């Protein structure tokens, strides 16, 4: 089933929705669901399991949990592995809870944290609360790059969180309905939320459990991809609706700089001829080629900005903005 065609029957509204993306986690799922049910006993909640194309028996386990827990369990299954961002995006589309919690399926996130996360959204009025695994049970090869990544994200986004990539987060439902998580942007949901107008973002220290079953599904390449995604989301946030403001300015500056250099070279050549002074052929001057390259690059950047403006102005949902209130 393609996510663009994803539909779900109308279900009653809940106080709480927990979205759990998973990939090959059949051993941990029964224990996780039992833990959640124990913590939230008597509450109105649902757990949305999104199977990201698992090759083990994870989907069969989700089906069994559905038989056991009934309407408290919602299951989505991808035909192939699409990535965590796609899983979260699909889960966000079907949630019915007033507060939405995300957590990983590997038992490293503790459901014991859920009531306090929910309370801070409902009573303290936060739009988003991000977990902070202050004490991590990870090797140094993972903790050091993580610290560097979080530092860079804080500097670029202006959001002062210690652990952007923590899977345990809480949101008002309006937040998850406003952000679009694609590619590998799940790391930057707080940044996407801020760009959408939800700036009341908090943080909570949460417990980090050691992995009990299986192995991690992420390698060191995620840190490289993470920094590239950070550049992308920073660009989109600043110039997504006005690309000409970047490409046009850069292109104009490069073209004018190259043209000025060319004019200086040509002007000197004309002056030398009129004065009878010997001057080198323009084609023999290296600065001439530098000026030519600058003008061509400036023209290309300007045209890129112009084309980007045409694309964004004709893109669907371009002029959909978040309303703070209505009377």
Residue 249: give the domain boundaries. 244-313
Lowest mean pLDDT among 145-149, 172-176, 262-266, 316-320: 316-320
Q: What is the tally of structural domains in the chain?
A: 2
| Residue with more model confidence, 310 or 313 | 310
Lowest mean pLDDT among 65-69, 169-173, 257-261, 280-284: 280-284
On average, the pLDDT of the chain sits at 84
Q: Are residues 185 and 301 in the same domain?
A: no
| Residue with more model confidence, 110 or 145 | 110
pTM of the predicted model as reported, rounded to 2 decimal places: 0.73
Query: Can you tell me the distance from the alpha carbon of 277 to that of 274, in angstroms, rounded to the nearest whole number?
Result: 8
Residue where a domain stops, chosen among 239, 254, 281: 239
In a domain, 219, yes or no: yes
Each residue of 92-135: pLDDT tens digit?
999 999 999 999 998 889 999 999 999 999 999 999 999 998 87
Q: Are residues 216 and 251 in the same domain?
A: no
Q: Are residues 119 and 143 in the same domain?
A: yes
Query: Can you tell me the distance from the alpha carbon of 18 to that of 142, in angstroms, rounded to the nearest whole number?
Result: 27
Q: Are residues 9 and 124 in the same domain?
A: yes
Q: Which helix (H) or strand (E) holds 204?
A: strand 201-205
Query: Can you tell me the distance from the alpha carbon of 213 to that of 87, in angstroms, rounded to the nearest whole number?
Result: 21
Sign of CA dihedral 49, 51, 54, 59: positive
pLDDT at residue 3 in the model: 45
Q: Are residues 213 and 273 in the same domain?
A: no
């Amino acid at each position: 089933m393609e996510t663009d065609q994803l539909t779900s029957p109308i279900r009653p509204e809940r106080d709480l929705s927990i979205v759990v993306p998973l990939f090959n986690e059949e051993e941990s799922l029964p224990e996780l669901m039992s833990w959640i049910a124990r913590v939230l006993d008597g509450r109105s909640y649902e757990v949305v399991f999104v199977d990201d194309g698992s090759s083990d028996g994870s989907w069969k386990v989700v089906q069994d949990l559905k038989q056991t827990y009934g309407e408290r369990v919602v299951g989505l299954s991808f035909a192939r592995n699409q990535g965590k961002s796609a899983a979260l995006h699909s889960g966000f589309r079907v949630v019915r809870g007033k507060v939405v919690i995300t957590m990983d399926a590997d038992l490293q996130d503790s459901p014991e944290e859920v009531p306090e996360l929910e309370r801070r959204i409902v009573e303290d009025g936060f739009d988003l609360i991000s977990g902070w695994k202050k004490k991590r049970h990870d090797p140094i090869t993972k903790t050091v790059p993580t610290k560097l990544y979080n530092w860079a994200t804080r500097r670029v986004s202006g959001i002062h969180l210690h652990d952007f990539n923590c899977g345990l987060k809480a949101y008002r439902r309006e937040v998850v309905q406003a952000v679009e998580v694609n590619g590998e942007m799940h790391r930057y949901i707080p940044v996407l939320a801020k760009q959408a107008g939800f700036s009341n973002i908090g943080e909570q220290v949460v417990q980090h459990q050691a992995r009990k079953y299986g192995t991690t599904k992420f390698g060191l390449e995620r840190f490289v991809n993470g920094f590239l995604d950070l550049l992308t989301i920073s660009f989109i946030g600043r110039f997504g609706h006005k690309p000409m403001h970047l490409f046009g300015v850069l292109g104009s500056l490069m073209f004018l700089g190259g043209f000025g250099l060319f004019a200086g070279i040509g002007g000197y050549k004309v002056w030398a001829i009129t004065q009878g002074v010997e001057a080198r052929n323009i084609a023999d001057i290296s600065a001439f080629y530098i000026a030519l390259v600058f003008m061509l690059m400036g023209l290309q950047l300007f045209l890129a900005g112009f084309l980007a403006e045409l694309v964004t102005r004709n893109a669907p949902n371009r002029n959909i903005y978040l309303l703070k209130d209505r009377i």
